Amino acid sequence: MSDVNSSGRRTVAFLTCGRLPDVAADDLPAVDALRALGIDVEPAVWDNPAVRWERFAAAVVRSTWDYYLRPEEFRRFVTMLEALGVPLWNPPDLLRWNMDKRYLRELAERGVPVLPTAWVEGEPAPDLASLLAERGWDEVVVKPIVSANGHATWRTSRAAAPDLQEAFAELAAGGGAMVQPFVDEIAGEGEWSLLFFAGRFSHAVIKRPKSGDFRVQIDHGGSAAPADPPAAVLERAERILAAVAGPWLYARVDGCVLSGRRGFHLMELEMLEPSLFFAQDPLAPGRFAAALAGVLGRDRAAA
């Protein structure tokens, strides 16, 4: 298998999904930066059986935004690329680990400051109102254990929980649920996203929800603005990533600074298909391209 095309350039696949088969608009600046380094990019729908994966120098998981609806199928796809010997970034073991939010429980056990979380799996589901009372939580956010972009994520209170018990039980039985206290700081100071490429910090944004909502994702009306993280936030993010085995191409550390001197707490460690917010920093696409060129070089040396 050659990883060089007829023009002497390497081609990598940016993995996409059926409903959005082309390279996502958010990733186009990185395509241009890679082209300048002699690396071409082609979009490839991850579950398209007609794709000849062996012809790519590597596959980069980018906008596979339906993987969480078919997690077992996505795991089989990752294993298939692994068996074919197609370099995958991020690496297969890391993708399998990161697609299940129980990685947060593992990181907490390693000493990473993670938002308090109640993990609920299987049947019968506990009474949601009682769970909140036991934890001393008045308002919470409930999420599926395998999910992305705010899918099936909702906010409730101790008073309203009885009306949502059936939905909570379905979520727990269907793959598991996680319950976290609602963080007031997100609506005020916002949620940090710190972007790292091949182990190095690149840039950061502050995300805020639209008025009356709690979700910071742009698809739900949220916003993202470039921002320089305080030294303490950056240091905490670097310590979080030090707990994750490498090598890896990209990581996005999402979290918030809690009041009362509690500092930065991790909400999500996105290493599968996050927006990398290239539009918020004009130098970020070049940093990403250089990082990808670096891992491709290591892949070739190891072949």
Model confidence pLDDT, tens digit, residues 127-143: 999 999 999 999 999 99
- Rounded to whole angstroms, the Cα distance separating 138 from 122 reads 24
Token pair of 94 as six digits: 């890391």
Tell me: pLDDT of 283 over 60.
yes
**Which of these, 151, 117, 145, lies nearest to 131 by C-alpha position?**
117
**Residues β-bridged to residue 266:** 114, 255
| Radius of gyration for the chain, computed over Cα atoms and rounded to the nearest angstrom | 20
Residue 138 CB neighbour total at 10 angstroms:
12
For residue 221, the enclosing domain spans 103-113+185-271
The residues near 147 (Cβ < 8 Å, ≥ 6 apart) are 68, 101, 153
Crossing angle of the two packed helices 28-36 and 284-302, in degrees rounded to 10: 60
More confident residue, 131 or 188: 131
Looking at the structure, do residues 107 and 200 belong to the same domain, yes or no? Answer: yes
Q: What is the pLDDT of residue 189?
A: 81
Same domain, 109 and 223: yes
Q: Does a structural domain hold residue 245?
A: yes
107 and 245 co-located in one domain:
yes
Going by pLDDT thresholds of 50, 70 and 90, the confidence category of residue 45 is very high
The residue from 164, 182, 200 where one domain ends is: 182
Question: Does 236 share its domain with 107?
Answer: yes
Q: CATH number for the domain including 221?
A: 3.30.470.20
Domain boundary (182, 201, 230) is at: 182
Whether residues 175 and 28 fall in one domain: no
Q: Report strand pairing: 10-16 vs 58-61.
A: parallel
Q: Are residues 67 and 128 in the same domain?
A: no
Q: Are residues 172 and 67 in the same domain?
A: no
Mean pLDDT of 61-81: 96
Look at residue 3 and tell me if it is in a domain: no
CA pair distance 98, 112, nearest whole angstrom: 15
Q: For the chain, what is the mean pLDDT? A: 91
Q: What is the pLDDT of residue 14?
A: 98
Residue 137 is part of a domain; what is its CATH number?
3.30.1490
Domain boundary residue, one of 182, 211, 238? 182
Kindly indicate the confidence band of residue 187, based on its pLDDT and cuts at 50, 70 and 90: confident
Q: Are residues 108 and 190 in the same domain?
A: yes
Residues 207 and 108 in one domain: yes
In a domain, 4, yes or no: no
pLDDT at 2: 46
Q: How high is the pLDDT of residue 219?
A: 63
Burial of 228 (0-12, 13-18, 19+ CB in 10 A): exposed
Residues 203 and 264 in one domain: yes
Between 125 and 301, the more confident residue is 125
Verify that 262 and 292 share a domain, yes or no. no
Q: Give the β-pairing of 177-181 and 191-197.
A: unpaired
Strand order in the sheet with 58-61: 39-45, 10-16, 58-61, 88-89
What's the confidence (pLDDT) of residue 1? 42
Instruction: State both tokens at 249.
Output: 């191409």
Rounded mean pLDDT, 237-260: 93
* Counted domains in the chain: 3
- Take residue 89 and report the two structure tokens written for it: 């970034």
- Maximum alpha-carbon separation in the chain: 65
Residue 77, domain member (yes or no): yes
Q: How confident is the model at residue 42 (pLDDT cuts 50, 70, 90)?
A: very high
